Structure 1
Amino acid sequence: MKEEITNYPSKEKPWLKYYDYDTEKLEIPKMSIYQMASLYNKDRLDNIALDIRTGKNNFKKGVTITYREYLKRMREFAKSLSLLGVKENEIISLVLPNIIESRVSIYGSNILGATPYAITPLLAPEKFNTIIEENNIQNIFMFSMFYEKYKNVLNIRKYKNVIFLDGMETMPTFLKTYLRFKNNIKVPTGDNFISYEEFIREGKKLKKEITPYYDEEHTAIIVGTSGTTGVPKGVCLTDKNLNAAATSHISTGLFEENDVFLDVLLQSIAYGVSAMHYTTCGGLKSVLIPELVSDKLAYLLKTINPDHFLGGPIHCLNIVKSEEFKNGELKPIKNYVSGGATLKKELEKKLNKVDENFKENGTRSDLFVRQGLGSTENTGGGLYQMPGSYKFGSVGIPLPLNTIGVFTPGTDIELPFNTMGELCITGPCVMKEYLNNEKETNKVLKKHSDGKVWLHMGDIGYIDKDGCFFHKHRLSDIFMRRGFNVHPGKITELLNTIPEIKAVGVIVVEHPIEEMVPIACISLYNEFDNDKVKEKIENICRNNLDDMAIPYEYVYMEELPLNAGGKVNIPLLKSMYEEKNSLKLKK
């Protein structure tokens, strides 16, 4: 049967030519995430599952556990949680770094049917308190290092239990005893404060295994968003969502049993959870780095020599600056993915050694980085520059089980190829809902005339004839200045073309005369931090931007603040600016 030519991406699906199998016939396992992890690893129980390393020994030797031990710890966690009286669908909170116990707690909660709310340790105490109160959370798992930050919240109300971890739980008994004594590490004291080891010890007394809970629409985890639209929300991801994401990634053939995955992602980031699940189900060896190591990444890539790594622009930037990259010591790995924000053109050129007209012909193994695009609401993933599909500046094609289209913003009117519009995505990875927030849910999940529920991503760009999406800016950023629409994304896009600029964030603030005005916050490479370069930047803006889009002010900073996902933290940047310039803005 001849394919119908419609000129609409979601109908023609040109990206399917990059897959050598029928992606639409993939079956999603109808089971819990724990059951999928257990089933997929039944024949490789003695393979290494996790290897945790820290900077204390230069990341050269870690503590490892097998899949047999990994699954056993999940079951022990479930037993211990049941003794705390936690029930099906009850929310517990996790405030943990990227450690073994963070993963164990997610899968262990899943066995019982409880729902972990993974909270980034970067969250302000007031927002943490709001989440705890609004959801009546009674059991909190917290890394002891974060206690000082949240102690006022933990001490103002009564909880059933606060379970503390220090990251040494996996170490041999003699070693962790010695290190705790040497470093004077103690569990904080307070009513119902207990150590993780005490918590697990009680569960081990239960001899009977807990029958795994399963409901396809059960919320397996709640992940907080960074509040791009100004309203922080909890994204409810189901077992089906996570199993679909794992099936999608594993089916690509990029991930093979015993591949080494260098993991620096928190489970409080959707892609961190997604990566946790597909690496676990894929039988990979995950090397966990619990510290923030964006400036040490080149060293880690050289030392660990992984097959896979997921990061963001900040990681790419630090690689280019590293001596290892400059000296040619870093070679392309099988699968280096950059997501979270689009790479600057100059950065992509340096890493991949290509020009702006480059298009992959066949599969190139010498490309250093491939970009991707996703959202928390789509289980972290969505698009990726699959081998064979790479085009300079694109963020890729849809991963299997995902269908994309570009629509007139806020509507179900699909736009043709190469037409700017809002990116929307549909498929089994799309979230269930925002936690207790129907109003915000309905803003992004819309049933189209084709009968499918589409996630409106808020990303503006276009899809070319090969199915590659080119991201331009965010829809939610549009504001009015003197009655004219202004797109901060276009300002950012222009500034990112200037090679002297290391990072940029455009914030929007109120103005007594002009309504709202854009402020360009800029970090320059050290060698370019001079008046001549700053004059050049302002001239480029004057010559290339409409009058209303020209920044009202240029603010130069040594470094711009980043959020947990490695993106420029726009809300924090804005609050920093307003605090410093409140009097000036009122004039």
Structure 2
Amino acid sequence: MTVIDDTNVFLPDLWSTHATFSPEKDALICGDERRSWGDFDKNMSRIAHALINRGIGRGDKVAVLVSNNIEAVEIIYGVVRAGACVVPLSGLLTAEQLAVLIDDCDASFLIATESYLDRITEIRGKLPKIAPENFVAADFTADGWLDFESFLGHAADTMPTVTYRLEDDFNIIYSSGTTGLPKGIVQTHRARQHWSYSNALELRFHRNAVAMTTTSLYSNGTWLMMLPILFVGGTLVIMPEFSPKALLETAVAHKVTHTFMVPTQFIVTLDHPEFDNYDLSQLETVLCAGSPLRPDTKAEVLKRLTPNLTELYGCSEGFGSMCNPDMHAVKPGSVGKPVLGFDLKIFDDDGNELPRDEVGEICGYGAGMMKEYYKRDDLTEAITVRDRHGRSFLRSGDIGRIDQDGYLYIMDRKKDMIISGGFNIFPADIEAIIGEHPDVLDVTVIGVPHEKWGETPLALVIGRDGIEDTTEIVKWANDRLAKSQRISGAELRVEFPRNALGKVVKRELRDPYWT
């Protein structure tokens, strides 16, 4: 009996198909450098074969520490093409933090760019799981490192014979660590395939699209652009480093149709003095994620940047909702409905599903969910809650509600909620009001100790040029806030600590007041 192959098309196979039928088309652009789909595919294959020749494949973890450039994309997905699991690590981490995560993920191979050299040199003795010959220099030469051309050697540039499985580990992405030590989020080929096609459909990617990254390549949020654009065979433009002027110039020069930005990037870009000189009418989709846009910023984006704004609410563990352009006027303040292939529910602290319009923890389920926290069964169990059908929903740590029409509203982070005199206060509500003040560029609100009320809201403000005192801002805000929401004061800051996606790390801001 003849049995036809299982025709599931895995991402490494799909990329090869794009290269076969559109070899001369631009796949990657970074600055003055370009890479055609044909060359991109060959380079991924050479990297894959070089790893396979050294015994790296299914089950092996490859730590990748790279800058924002074309070679970084080839390395990341070359590892995947070899059948191994890629572990991209943050450039914001210290040497000691990198040592912890490289050991935690059990990496047996490491590829790094020069910007990481000093840190890896400092901790190399703490990485016994990586053999001396398995440290590869992506763009430099140094003693004790295998240079990249020697690593590649005479590796073939044809598609390797690797059998992929949906349940195989595609990558481990470490959480941003806003609430403590980062956790290794394991995502499979199944999850990454779903991530690719669900976002391609939701965000209207197409083969002629040009997507631009504005954030670091190791960040899971950046993959919201990378995976869908490579899925449809379009062109990816990589920003080496973000600045408002560079973003505007790059978007115009390459006729960018799709991009992803975090709220702080919107704020500083709209504030750029030359913003109105750039024609951005070619933008088909601008995605915002990382944290919610303040209402005043969102209004400015829709008015001055593009009406084609999509807001994504989600978590790296793997679920989310989108507020698409047609929803903004219909449901202001909402973060939309579940992304294609996901379900969202609200649960109370005891794991009971709540009815519509009741406030509780936002939980999600779907094909793009993580497999587990790597080697952390306790944390995997803690994040899991089961619905009445026995399905494993993941807890978000966010408080919200779903209205009668199925639209999701975020109240705040569960751990950021302020309890003052018995009242539950959501910082996001206060931030929305203070953000409307003309002297406020950005604001975040935290809870600080109070002798009578237990804790009280304090506003931390990044002001526009010339502001030296916050007395007027405090009075202005408290005149507009409910009595229970009123802030005890406001302090000026030059910047806020942020994670890779621009989300304010409130834990770092709170700690000095509570210790």
Q: How far apart are residue 517 of structure 1 and its match?
A: 5.7
- The answer on whether the counterparts of 1:115 and 1:220 sit within 8 Å (CA) in structure 2 is yes
Return the TM-score normalized by structure 2: 0.88
Q: How far apart are residue 423 of structure 1 and its match?
A: 2.2
* Cα shift readout 1:46-70 (whole Å, capped 9, x = no counterpart): 32111111xxxxxxxx221222221
- Alpha-carbon distance change, 574 to 300 in structure 1, aligned in 2, over 3 angstroms: farther
Looking at structure 1, the residues matched to 510 and 275 of structure 2 have their Cα atoms a distance apart, in angstroms, of: 34
Amino acid in the other structure paired with 2:321: L
Alignment correspondent of 2:3: none
2:100 is equivalent to residue 136 of structure 1: no
- Alpha-carbon distance change, 497 to 332 in structure 1, aligned in 2, over 3 angstroms: farther
Looking at both structures, which has the greater relative contact order when contacts are Cα pairs under 8 Å and sequence separation is at least 6?
Answer: 1
Return the TM-score normalized by structure 1: 0.78
Unaligned runs of 5+ in 1: 1-27, 54-61, 167-185, 355-364
Looking at structure 1, the residues matched to 479 and 117 of structure 2 have their Cα atoms a distance apart, in angstroms, of: 49
Q: What is the CA RMSD across the aligned residues, in angstroms?
A: 3.0
Say how many residue pairs are matched.
Answer: 505
Looking at structure 1, the residues matched to 474 and 377 of structure 2 have their Cα atoms a distance apart, in angstroms, of: 44
* Cα shift readout 1:117-156 (whole Å, capped 9, x = no counterpart): 1111112222211112233323211110222344311355
Looking at structure 2, the residues matched to 29 and 546 of structure 1 have their Cα atoms a distance apart, in angstroms, of: 62
- The answer on whether the counterparts of 1:245 and 1:278 sit within 8 Å (CA) in structure 2 is yes
Q: How far apart are residue 324 of structure 1 and its match?
A: 3.6
Alignment correspondent of 1:47: 25
Looking at structure 2, the residues matched to 539 and 509 of structure 1 have their Cα atoms a distance apart, in angstroms, of: 21
Looking at structure 2, the residues matched to 466 and 328 of structure 1 have their Cα atoms a distance apart, in angstroms, of: 38
Looking at structure 1, the residues matched to 35 and 194 of structure 2 have their Cα atoms a distance apart, in angstroms, of: 26
Alignment correspondent of 2:323: 385
Looking at structure 2, the residues matched to 514 and 393 of structure 1 have their Cα atoms a distance apart, in angstroms, of: 29
- The answer on whether the counterparts of 1:481 and 1:514 sit within 8 Å (CA) in structure 2 is yes
2:33 is equivalent to residue 95 of structure 1: no
Match of 2:381 among 442, 446, 462: 442
Alignment correspondent of 2:210: 260
Looking at structure 2, the residues matched to 385 and 485 of structure 1 have their Cα atoms a distance apart, in angstroms, of: 26
Amino acid in the other structure paired with 2:340: P
Unaligned runs of 5+ in 2: 1-5
Q: How far apart are residue 80 of structure 1 and its match?
A: 0.8
- The answer on whether the counterparts of 1:477 and 1:489 sit within 8 Å (CA) in structure 2 is no
Q: How far apart are residue 327 of structure 1 and its match?
A: 4.3
- Alpha-carbon distance change, 219 to 156 in structure 1, aligned in 2, over 3 angstroms: closer
Secondary structure, in 3 states, of the residue corresponding to 2:206? coil
- Alpha-carbon distance change, 46 to 490 in structure 1, aligned in 2, over 3 angstroms: same
- Alpha-carbon distance change, 394 to 303 in structure 1, aligned in 2, over 3 angstroms: farther
- The answer on whether the counterparts of 2:186 and 2:371 sit within 8 Å (CA) in structure 1 is yes
Amino acid in the other structure paired with 1:504: V
* Cα shift readout 1:534-576 (whole Å, capped 9, x = no counterpart): 33325524762555x655553211222332102223344456x
Looking at structure 2, the residues matched to 141 and 94 of structure 1 have their Cα atoms a distance apart, in angstroms, of: 5
- The answer on whether the counterparts of 2:255 and 2:282 sit within 8 Å (CA) in structure 1 is no
2:383 is equivalent to residue 429 of structure 1: no
Secondary structure, in 3 states, of the residue corresponding to 1:65? strand
Match of 2:13 among 35, 44, 48: 35
* Cα shift readout 1:308-351 (whole Å, capped 9, x = no counterpart): 11111122112211234334744361111111111111112222
Looking at structure 2, the residues matched to 501 and 29 of structure 1 have their Cα atoms a distance apart, in angstroms, of: 55
- The answer on whether the counterparts of 2:442 and 2:461 sit within 8 Å (CA) in structure 1 is yes
- Using the TM superposition, name which of 210-219 and 483-492 deviates more: 483-492
- Alpha-carbon distance change, 125 to 484 in structure 1, aligned in 2, over 3 angstroms: farther
Looking at structure 1, the residues matched to 221 and 55 of structure 2 have their Cα atoms a distance apart, in angstroms, of: 30
Matches within 5 A, 1:329-344: 329-331=279-281, 333-344=283-294
Looking at structure 1, the residues matched to 110 and 510 of structure 2 have their Cα atoms a distance apart, in angstroms, of: 31
Match of 1:540 among 477, 490, 511: 477
Amino acid in the other structure paired with 2:316: T
Amino acid in the other structure paired with 2:336: G
Q: How far apart are residue 453 of structure 1 and its match?
A: 1.9
Looking at structure 2, the residues matched to 410 and 149 of structure 1 have their Cα atoms a distance apart, in angstroms, of: 44
Q: How far apart are residue 235 of structure 1 and its match?
A: 0.7
2:152 is equivalent to residue 200 of structure 1: yes
Looking at structure 2, the residues matched to 372 and 324 of structure 1 have their Cα atoms a distance apart, in angstroms, of: 28
- The answer on whether the counterparts of 1:410 and 1:456 sit within 8 Å (CA) in structure 2 is no
- The answer on whether the counterparts of 1:336 and 1:370 sit within 8 Å (CA) in structure 2 is yes
Looking at structure 2, the residues matched to 247 and 29 of structure 1 have their Cα atoms a distance apart, in angstroms, of: 17
Match of 1:477 among 416, 436, 444: 416
2:333 is equivalent to residue 398 of structure 1: no
2:352 is equivalent to residue 415 of structure 1: no
- The answer on whether the counterparts of 1:473 and 1:489 sit within 8 Å (CA) in structure 2 is yes
- The answer on whether the counterparts of 1:422 and 1:457 sit within 8 Å (CA) in structure 2 is yes
Secondary structure, in 3 states, of the residue corresponding to 2:327? coil
Match of 2:50 among 77, 80, 83: 80
Alignment correspondent of 1:15: none
Q: How far apart are residue 42 of structure 1 and its match?
A: 4.1
Looking at structure 2, the residues matched to 393 and 486 of structure 1 have their Cα atoms a distance apart, in angstroms, of: 17
Q: How far apart are residue 31 of structure 1 and its match?
A: 4.5
- The answer on whether the counterparts of 1:224 and 1:268 sit within 8 Å (CA) in structure 2 is no
Q: How far apart are residue 520 of structure 1 and its match?
A: 2.9
Alignment correspondent of 1:561: 497
Match of 1:187 among 141, 166, 170: 141
Amino acid in the other structure paired with 1:452: R
Amino acid in the other structure paired with 1:555: E
- The answer on whether the counterparts of 1:81 and 1:203 sit within 8 Å (CA) in structure 2 is no
Amino acid in the other structure paired with 1:540: A
Match of 1:151 among 118, 121, 142: 121
Looking at structure 1, the residues matched to 451 and 154 of structure 2 have their Cα atoms a distance apart, in angstroms, of: 62
* Cα shift readout 1:349-394 (whole Å, capped 9, x = no counterpart): 222239xxxxxxxxxx96153322121111xx63223343333333
Match of 1:162 among 117, 129, 135: 135
Amino acid in the other structure paired with 1:384: M
Looking at structure 2, the residues matched to 324 and 162 of structure 1 have their Cα atoms a distance apart, in angstroms, of: 45
- The answer on whether the counterparts of 1:144 and 1:188 sit within 8 Å (CA) in structure 2 is no
Looking at structure 1, the residues matched to 185 and 362 of structure 2 have their Cα atoms a distance apart, in angstroms, of: 19
Matches within 5 A, 1:357-372: 367=307, 369-372=309-312
- Alpha-carbon distance change, 530 to 141 in structure 1, aligned in 2, over 3 angstroms: same
- The answer on whether the counterparts of 2:46 and 2:158 sit within 8 Å (CA) in structure 1 is no
Secondary structure, in 3 states, of the residue corresponding to 1:423? strand
- The answer on whether the counterparts of 2:209 and 2:229 sit within 8 Å (CA) in structure 1 is no
- The answer on whether the counterparts of 1:383 and 1:395 sit within 8 Å (CA) in structure 2 is yes
Match of 1:70 among 40, 44, 49: 40
- Alpha-carbon distance change, 326 to 277 in structure 1, aligned in 2, over 3 angstroms: closer
2:189 is equivalent to residue 211 of structure 1: no
Secondary structure, in 3 states, of the residue corresponding to 1:261? strand
